[in-house]
Structure 1
Amino acid sequence: MVKRTGIMLQLLFIIVLSGCWSKAELKDVSIVSGVGIDLAEKDQFEITTQTITPAEVRKNKPGAVTVQSTTGFTIFEAARDLIIKTGKKQNWQHINAYIISEEAAKAGVTPLVDFLTRDHEPRFRMNALVAKDKAKDILNLKSKTNAVPSIGIKTILQEERNLAKAPQVELHDFVQRMMAPHNDPYLPIIRKVKDDFEIFGSAVFKEDKMIGELTPRETRGMLRVLGEVKGGLQVVKFGEHKGKTNYLSIEIKKSKASIQAKISQNTVKMIIEIEEMGFLGSMTRPVEELSDKEIREMEQAYADTIKKEVKHTVSKIQKEFNSNVFNFAGVINREDKMFWKEHHQEWETLHPSLDVLVRVKTHIPRNGLTANNPGE
């Protein structure tokens, strides 16, 4: 009996551990690292994939990265056509960059992400970007930071995010914002510069269409309101020295923000409060010793600079773009559900006319300040 049981267990292990019936050999699969979407003629899309051969990448061979393009009336059709064109199944589980051309983004991105939400293979943690040029051209560029250009894009994107010059947005966050009522998405912008690329600023959306863009400085203002600033450098004007403007360089260490709605007598005021701490990195005016009064004045100049930057950005997004990036509607709904119920149908006209108050509190710690600044 024991012997029979042992044989049955061995047979069971053979069946269970024999492997996956649907596995594909690595040599028959192309690993997709980057995807580009452009508009093509006759209402079609052009899809470009940047694929890698792991063994070739390790050896740093020229054929390690391959870029292929094809067209179709849907992204799914074009993706399947690439299998026929290359003779290999394309694995979409390791995509680093999903790039949409500005032209396609302005036409509407719903059909460009629908395939990704339905197919089981793509992972939603891929980084999404908008290209000022053709997405195809971006994927054909060589990266100076990595043998695989799309990985190089991911690396630079992380660096720009840490400097608060561009947001880093994963596809699942983008889709979630796009589908949520009165909460519009945004993406970083990538563009071609000679034989390389750079990431700068943001593309702002209204529902699923790109409606405008922000400079790196305006992007920092947006990210401050959203509580997404993780670092960076803030230049602040601080008086004059010998007839020239004195500048401070402040390294941002901590930044947090909150948004509230104050509703009184059927009138709404949005209140944005920002608290930020930064270290003084340098200044153009030599100072023998910084007094407590001077530090307080620096903090005030720092706060005034942030306030000006944020007010400009909020006004541009709210009034010029009428985009709901800051989700003011959600804040109002949480504050006064009855008011929101009575006015939500007027939101498109109410939103750009909202009064927005910006309050900023800054702190520059004494540690790191020197009493013997060079210069005189």
Structure 2
Amino acid sequence: MKQKIALVLICICIVTMLTGCWGKSELRDVGIVSGIGIDAGTEAGFELTTQTIKPGDPKAGTPASVLIQTSKGATVFDGVRNFIITAKKKQIFQHIQVVIIGRELAMTGISPALDFFMRDHEPRSSMDVFIADQTAGEILQIKNKDFPIPSLTLKESVRVQEFLSKAPQVSIHNFYQGILEPYQDPYLPIIHKVKDNFEVYGTAIFNGEKLVGDLTAFETRGMLRVLGDAKAGIQVVKLPSSENEPILISIEIKKSKSSIKALFQNGQPSIQVEIKETGFIGDVSGQIRLDQQKINEIKGLYAKAIKLEVEKTIIKIQKQFKSNVFDFAGTIQRTNKKYWKENAKQWDEIYPELSVNVNVQTDITANGLEE
């Protein structure tokens, strides 16, 4: 009896050791993609560029790096599978960090380039999306010894943008939501090639799925202030001086909040944007005594600078690009459902002429010096 039990246990152990994961891929058989760029094809279809991770060798002191590979396809999925021809192995996208779209492609319509990433089971909806100032391929082919895996550095660089508020961080999920929502348009950060490096600043504004224009770094901060997403940054104001040159004062944004309301007068809508921002003085370029009177003067200049920046940004987005980034339509709909039901079909004509008023309140909580 004991021999039979022992035999059964041995068989169980053997069977357990022989089992494996169904559909499992060995690392040597696949390419782990950390970043992908998509450009319009020279004739038709798409041109894809990927950064595939090459594991380092700790014993040999070799750090991890990336292998740059390219492919073409009639569709993005077709191009992804065609990497097997050039890479001699299947590419997996479970660990992809960034997707970069070329400018020319974005101007013709971005949805066909991103559809694969929303449907396929491998890519994660949290990966960041960027618009390349020129082509996505040239960004991903940048080689810099300080950034062995550039796509990881790129993801981190846009995350720390919250300290500047000069570029938004947008996941592919949030971007797609902006396309699908009626009367609302999405936006993306812009990545620029600078010699053998890259810089992220500015915003690509969309009307539907098409890129229609760019915001500068400072206009981006104005947009983020309206959206309530300006978490930090430096606002420089000019304080008049008895000297020839004004005194420059740097104010660091500590907290910025906004609200957007729809008002109606004689049956016609208007938008009221309220911004409340708190900051503290980071540095002063000249010798001044920061008493309460001077602080109040600086607060006024601070509010004036914000108002000018925000109004300029709204005009550009609303009247030049005719993009519904701020969801004014949703605000009006929630405030006056009857008006919206009667006028929704005319929104494209109403929106560019919609009156938008901006009110800014500021406070300075510290002057940067110990009392």
Q: TM-score range by the shorter chain?
A: over 0.9
* Secondary structure of 2:366 counterpart: coil
**1:244-255 superposed matches below 5 A:** 244-255=245-256
- Higher mean C-alpha displacement, 362-371 vs 88-97: 362-371
Matches of 1:86 and 1:337, distance apart in 2: 56
Matches of 1:13 and 1:346, distance apart in 2: 72
- State yes or no: 1:326 paired with 2:326: yes
Q: Deviations over 1:282-325 (max 9, x none)?
A: 112312x3221211111111011000000000010000000000
Q: Which residue of 2 aligns with 1:125?
A: 126
* Secondary structure of 2:297 counterpart: helix
Q: TM-score normalized by structure 2?
A: 0.93
Please say if residues 253 and 279 of structure 1, whose CA atoms lie closer than 8 Å, have aligned partners that are also in contact. yes
Q: Which residue of 1 aligns with 2:317?
A: 317
* Secondary structure of 1:55 counterpart: coil
The AA in structure 1 aligned to 2:346 is: E
Please say if residues 71 and 83 of structure 2, whose CA atoms lie closer than 8 Å, have aligned partners that are also in contact. yes
Q: Which residue of 1 aligns with 2:263?
A: 262
Q: Which residue of 1 aligns with 2:41?
A: 40
Matches of 2:267 and 2:149, distance apart in 1: 56
Deviation of 1:95 after TM superposition, in Å, equals 1.4
* Secondary structure of 2:287 counterpart: coil
- State yes or no: 1:342 paired with 2:334: no
The AA in structure 2 aligned to 1:362 is: T
Residues 14 and 231 of structure 1: CA distance in aligned 2, closer, same or farther (over 3 Å): farther
The AA in structure 2 aligned to 1:296 is: N
The AA in structure 2 aligned to 1:223 is: L
Deviation of 1:240 after TM superposition, in Å, equals 2.0
- Higher mean C-alpha displacement, 130-139 vs 159-168: 159-168
The AA in structure 1 aligned to 2:88 is: G
Deviation of 1:196 after TM superposition, in Å, equals 1.4
Deviation of 1:146 after TM superposition, in Å, equals 2.3
Q: Which residue of 2 aligns with 1:358?
A: 358
Q: Deviations over 1:99-153 (max 9, x none)?
A: 0010010010110111111111111111100011211111010246421011121
Residues 308 and 62 of structure 1: CA distance in aligned 2, closer, same or farther (over 3 Å): same
Please say if residues 60 and 147 of structure 1, whose CA atoms lie closer than 8 Å, have aligned partners that are also in contact. no
Q: Which residue of 2 aligns with 1:164?
A: 165
Matches of 2:69 and 2:317, distance apart in 1: 37
- Higher mean C-alpha displacement, 145-154 vs 217-226: 145-154
Matches of 1:59 and 1:326, distance apart in 2: 53
Q: Deviations over 1:210-239 (max 9, x none)?
A: 000000000000011111111111101121
Residues 366 and 88 of structure 1: CA distance in aligned 2, closer, same or farther (over 3 Å): same
Matches of 1:78 and 1:66, distance apart in 2: 17
Residues 284 and 56 of structure 1: CA distance in aligned 2, closer, same or farther (over 3 Å): same
Matches of 1:167 and 1:351, distance apart in 2: 24
* Secondary structure of 1:244 counterpart: coil
- Higher mean C-alpha displacement, 174-183 vs 139-148: 139-148
Q: TM-score normalized by structure 1?
A: 0.92
Deviation of 1:80 after TM superposition, in Å, equals 0.3
Residues 297 and 13 of structure 1: CA distance in aligned 2, closer, same or farther (over 3 Å): farther
Matches of 1:20 and 1:215, distance apart in 2: 50
Please say if residues 130 and 190 of structure 1, whose CA atoms lie closer than 8 Å, have aligned partners that are also in contact. yes
Please say if residues 33 and 52 of structure 2, whose CA atoms lie closer than 8 Å, have aligned partners that are also in contact. yes
- State yes or no: 1:293 paired with 2:272: no
The AA in structure 2 aligned to 1:300 is: G
The AA in structure 2 aligned to 1:234 is: Q
The AA in structure 2 aligned to 1:172 is: H
The AA in structure 1 aligned to 2:120 is: D
* Secondary structure of 1:240 counterpart: coil
Residues 79 and 164 of structure 1: CA distance in aligned 2, closer, same or farther (over 3 Å): same
The AA in structure 1 aligned to 2:39 is: D
Deviation of 1:87 after TM superposition, in Å, equals 1.5
Please say if residues 144 and 152 of structure 1, whose CA atoms lie closer than 8 Å, have aligned partners that are also in contact. no
- State yes or no: 1:206 paired with 2:196: no
- State yes or no: 1:23 paired with 2:24: yes
Q: Deviations over 1:198-220 (max 9, x none)?
A: 11201000000000000000000
The AA in structure 2 aligned to 1:341 is: K
- Higher mean C-alpha displacement, 55-64 vs 190-199: 55-64
Deviation of 1:15 after TM superposition, in Å, equals 6.4
Matches of 2:294 and 2:261, distance apart in 1: 32
Please say if residues 35 and 50 of structure 1, whose CA atoms lie closer than 8 Å, have aligned partners that are also in contact. yes
* Secondary structure of 1:165 counterpart: coil
Q: Which residue of 2 aligns with 1:304?
A: 304
Matches of 1:12 and 1:346, distance apart in 2: 72
Q: Deviations over 1:249-289 (max 9, x none)?
A: 001111111111002222111011111111101112312x3
Deviation of 1:165 after TM superposition, in Å, equals 0.9
Q: Deviations over 1:78-103 (max 9, x none)?
A: 00000232121211011121000100
The AA in structure 1 aligned to 2:81 is: R
Residues 301 and 94 of structure 1: CA distance in aligned 2, closer, same or farther (over 3 Å): same
Deviation of 1:13 after TM superposition, in Å, equals 12
Please say if residues 57 and 64 of structure 1, whose CA atoms lie closer than 8 Å, have aligned partners that are also in contact. no
Q: Which residue of 2 aligns with 1:183?
A: 184
* Secondary structure of 2:23 counterpart: coil
Residues 12 and 212 of structure 1: CA distance in aligned 2, closer, same or farther (over 3 Å): farther
* Secondary structure of 2:246 counterpart: strand
Residues 108 and 52 of structure 1: CA distance in aligned 2, closer, same or farther (over 3 Å): same
Matches of 1:290 and 1:194, distance apart in 2: 43
